[in-house]
Amino acid sequence: MIKAPRGMKDIFDPRFLKIFDVTRKIAENYGFDYIETPILEETSLFKRSVGESSDIVNKEMYQFIDKGGNDVCLRPEGTAGVVRSFIEHKFDRQATPKRFWYFGPMFRYERPQKGRLREFHQFGVESFGVESIYEDINIIALAADIFDELKIDYTLKINSLGCPECMPKYKETLVEFLNFHKNELCEDCQRRIGQNPIRTLDCKNKNCQAILKNAPKITDNLCENCNKDFENLKEGLNNLGINFEIDKNLVRGLDYYTKTTFEFISNKIGAQSAIAGGGRYDRLVEFLGGKATAGVGFAIGIERIMDLVEIENERKGIYMGAIIADALPIIMKKAKNLRKETKVFVEPNIKSLKAHLKAADKGNFKKVLIMGENELRENTFFEKEL
Ligand code: HAM
């Protein structure tokens, strides 16, 4: 028997579409436009954006050479493709901000476990051209609104990674600290000292964590502007009644972030507890060859929240069936009209009244319309509410 590839799943769960509907509605209410980008992109796009020091690029890409000799990969995340599209369509040359939302599959060659798949889905938003910290607040509020609407409890963690003014100075201090402890750090962290030292801060290795507890923290080393923005971010979230915690080690697993980073965590889903993550990436557009443009966004992991969503199990729609064959053409016509208003299912097989009622009950329909000999003669239906 041929099975779906490891870490990839067929989706039958109606909650998937419910999440799609809710995320779409809220993104549109916030003024975001839909974008669909290719699932396959040039590998170099992710190397240059997500970064060579990240696990995603280093270990997890579905990368291959296509028949034309192009080095391509299945997208491991959505931001890079949206930025590529933003630049390719010259939106960076326009003065007006652009805001996009997307919903689709992402691929990471990870070791599958609960909440961690090789093909998973993300809903994400990306906002371009707005430097104001109020856009970060907007974006976080958008995510919070989605979780509230889906009745999902969360803990929001925030941090600031600083800007090109304060980050390099901080990095120097951190590298000094890391070099002093170099021999005690894991191999990954030792490599990261040269590549992207701040990524050591969220290393999962217990030994590294103990050492890095005492490392200098970026939020204690922010420049005046970043500090002011971080204060405004906290105040803005408080103003909207959005609770948060500050996590000074929240650097995120992708290299493109500057300033704000954030994650939404659920304590109800086990070890893979991040249900959404995002932040600012003010240098990414320029880095990928566009005109310098601020950016901020996040993505929600759909499979991670699916089990947390409750779905109403109320009876819905009309079940129509025939007890004699001559009734079917009339039923088909009637159903066509009724469908303009509601969900209508026509059972094409001729069955007894009892069998129809049983099927309608099993199908969770609200109402039954059945036509037998008498009904056909009188042009009526046997009607029953379930
Ligand atoms: P990320 O933190 O890598 O960020 O992924 C966002 C979310 O996708 C995670 O919080 C998690 O819920 C879900 N996720 C990630 N990997 C898996 C997996 N293997 N299986 C199931 N769910 C997973 C990004 O992807 C950024 N592009 C977010 C962003 C948008 N930043 C700015 N704009």
Q: pLDDT, tens digit, for every residue of 324-352?
A: 999 999 999 999 999 999 999 999 999 99
Q: Are residues 215 and 266 in the same domain?
A: no
Residues 365 and 314: beta-carbon distance below 8 Å = no
Q: What is the mean pLDDT of residues 18-25?
A: 98
Q: Are residues 32 and 115 in the same domain?
A: yes
Q: Is residue 198 part of a domain?
A: yes
User: Which CATH number fits the domain that encloses residue 371?
Assistant: 3.40.50.800
Q: What is the mean pLDDT of residues 169-185?
A: 94
How is residue 47 written in tokens?
Answer: 């190397």
Q: What is the mean pLDDT of residues 148-165?
A: 96
Give the pLDDT score at 313. Answer: 87
CA distances from 47 to 43, 77, 273, 288, 361 (A): 6, 12, 26, 11, 54
How is residue 286 written in tokens?
Answer: 């320029």
Q: Is residue 6 part of a domain?
A: no
With pLDDT > 70 as the criterion, what percentage of the chain qualifies? 100
Confidence of residue 73 (pLDDT cuts 50, 70, 90): very high
Q: Is the confidence at residue 302, as pLDDT, over 90?
A: yes
Residue type at 63? Q
Torsion of CA 26, 149, 107, 74, to 10 degrees: -10
Distance CA 298, CA 100 (A): 11
Containing 268, the helix (H) or strand (E) segment is: none
Q: Is residue 231 part of a domain?
A: yes
Q: Which of 144, 164, 166 is nearest to 154 (CA)?
A: 144
Confidence of residue 133 (pLDDT cuts 50, 70, 90): very high
Q: Which of 325, 319, 312 is nearest to 351 (CA)?
A: 325
Of 259, 275, 308, the position where a domain reaches its end is: 308
Tell the residue nearest (CA) to atom 18 of ligand 1.
Answer: 116
Q: Is the confidence at residue 95, as pLDDT, over 90?
A: no
Q: Are residues 173 and 156 in the same domain?
A: no
Number of domains in the chain: 3
Q: How far is the CA of 77 from the centre of ligand 1 (A)?
A: 7
Q: What is the mean pLDDT of residues 282-306?
A: 97
Q: Is 372 exposed, middle or buried (0-12, 13-18, 19+ CB in 10 A)?
A: middle
Give the pLDDT score at 372. Answer: 97
Distance CA 3, CA 15 (A): 23
Give the pLDDT score at 354. Answer: 97
List residues bridging with 299 in a β-sheet: 124, 277
Q: Are residues 178 and 294 in the same domain?
A: no
Of 183, 198, 221, the position where a domain reaches its end is: 221
177-181's contacts with Cβ under 8 Å and 24+ in sequence apart are: 177/214, 177/215, 177/216, 178/215, 181/211
Residues 181 and 193: beta-carbon distance below 8 Å = no
Backbone angles phi, psi at 237, to 5 degrees: -70, -40
Q: What is the residue-averaged pLDDT of the chain?
A: 96
Which of the pair, 287 or 312, is modelled with greater confidence? 287
Q: Is the confidence at residue 213, as pLDDT, over 80?
A: yes
Structural domain including 187 reads 169-221
Q: Is residue 182 part of a domain?
A: yes
Tell the residue nearest (CA) to atom 17 of ligand 1.
Answer: 116
Q: Is the confidence at residue 224, as pLDDT, over 80?
A: yes
**DSSP alpha helix (H) spans, 125-263:** 133-149, 166-180, 187-195, 206-212, 224-239
Confidence of residue 371 (pLDDT cuts 50, 70, 90): very high
Distance CA 278, CA 299 (A): 6
Q: Are residues 242 and 198 in the same domain?
A: no
CA angle 20, 22, 27 (to 5 degrees): 95
Q: Which of 226, 235, 57, 20 is nearest to 140 (CA)?
A: 235
Q: Which of 336, 304, 302 is nearest to 318 (CA)?
A: 336
Atom of ligand 1 nearest to the CA of 274: 10
Q: Are residues 41 and 87 in the same domain?
A: yes
Give the pLDDT score at 52. Answer: 84
Distance CA 386, CA 375 (A): 20
Q: Are residues 129 and 268 in the same domain?
A: yes
Q: What is the mean pLDDT of residues 156-168?
A: 95
Q: Are residues 28 and 162 in the same domain?
A: yes
Q: What is the mean pLDDT of residues 250-269?
A: 93
Q: Which of 264, 265, 304 is nearest to 115 (CA)?
A: 304
Tell the residue nearest (CA) to atom 11 of ligand 1.
Answer: 301
Q: Are residues 182 and 196 in the same domain?
A: yes
Give the pLDDT score at 312. Answer: 86
Q: Are residues 30 and 107 in the same domain?
A: yes
Distance CA 156, CA 266 (A): 9
Q: Is residue 4 part of a domain?
A: no
**71-74 vs 40-42, strand pairing mode:** antiparallel
Q: Is residue 74 part of a domain?
A: yes
With pLDDT > 90 as the criterion, what percentage of the chain qualifies? 91
Distance CA 72, CA 186 (A): 31
Q: Are residues 351 and 244 in the same domain?
A: no
Q: Is residue 7 part of a domain?
A: no
Mutate to test the pocket of ligand 1, among 19, 45, 55, 254 (most ligand atoms within 8 A of CB): 254
Of 276, 308, 340, the position where a domain reaches its end is: 308
How is residue 312 written in tokens?
Answer: 């109403």
- Using DSSP's 3-state secondary structure scheme, residue 80 falls into helix
Output the ligand 1 site: residues, CB below 6 A. Answer: 77-79, 108, 110, 116-117, 120, 122, 124, 126, 253-254, 274-279, 297-299, 301, 303-304
Q: What is the mean pLDDT of residues 245-271?
A: 93
Q: Is the confidence at residue 53, as pLDDT, over 80?
A: no
Containing 374, the helix (H) or strand (E) segment is: helix 373-378
Q: Are residues 35 and 177 in the same domain?
A: no
Give the pLDDT score at 120. Answer: 98
Mutate to test the pocket of ligand 1, among 120, 146, 302 (most ligand atoms within 8 A of CB): 120
> Which pTM does this prediction carry?
0.94
Q: Is residue 8 part of a domain?
A: no
